[in-house]
Amino acid sequence: MSFDRRIKIAPSILSADFANFGAECRAIEAEGADWVHVDVMDGHFVPNITFGPATCAAIRPHIKGVMDVHLMIAPVDPYIEAFAAAGADVITAHVEAGPHIHRTLQAIRNTGKKAGLAINPGTGLDGVENLLDMLDLVCVMTVNPGFGGQSFIASQVDKVRRLRALIGDRPIHIEIDGGVTPVTAPLVAAAGADVLVAGSAVFKGGSVSDPAPYGANIRAIRAAAEAAL
């Protein structure tokens, strides 16, 4: 998994057909997805329950590229090795999920995986600077975590801009998760984001039997983001 700052589209399988995950992963990659984003929710840290390590292991053989696993769970540390063994390439934990995020990032790095830090809309950047040298990705939540299909929180664009300045030349991706569409993608791309997670905006109108709309949706988001650079 090499580093570059080109725009990458990471469809969230939270919006996919749950009965056809393998086919959905193959379809979105065939239609131009760069990464596959897996939203893991525990019904405790966030008000929903989704997938666990077994689901990640089941879909891993269907994903040729990057499997980006976003842990919206607390505690995080007891489950890191299981998600690493399940085939995650990037494991992202929330700064709000526990008191020892430095230890959590160490644990992710110790598995040989890329380490990500997620920040909720109500969380500032104060605690990020001391962690930058442990990070491969910072995920700026542009909705409150826990549900798909929410509206983009525009106030987070300035946070992305400040984060971009804080990162400087370090090889750290800035990921946006929440409300990404062809309308909002240019805002965050211009501010410095390079990985755009999109759920309903990618999967709307398509299916595994007719995946062409997935490709059209991915191309629309990518084109809008790249036009802002």
Give residues with Cβ within 8 angstroms of 38, minimum separation 6.
12, 13, 51, 55, 56, 59, 67, 68, 69, 70, 88
> Which string of DSSP letters, residue by residue, matches 152-218?
P-TTHHHHHHHHHHHHTTS--EEEEESS--TTTHHHHHHHT--EEEESHHHHTT-BTTB-HHHHHHH
Query: Of 34, 42, 68, 177, which one is the catalytic site residue?
Result: 177
Are 39 and 225 a contacting pair, CB within 8 Å?
Answer: no
Tokens of residue 112, six digits: 């040989």
Q: Is position 126 annotated as part of the catalytic site?
A: no
Task: Name the catalytic one among 39, 68, 89, 194.
Answer: 39
Compute the C-alpha angle 132/42/35, nearest 5°: 55
Known active-site residue 177? yes
Amino acid at 45: F
Instruction: Catalogue the active-site residues.
Output: 39, 177
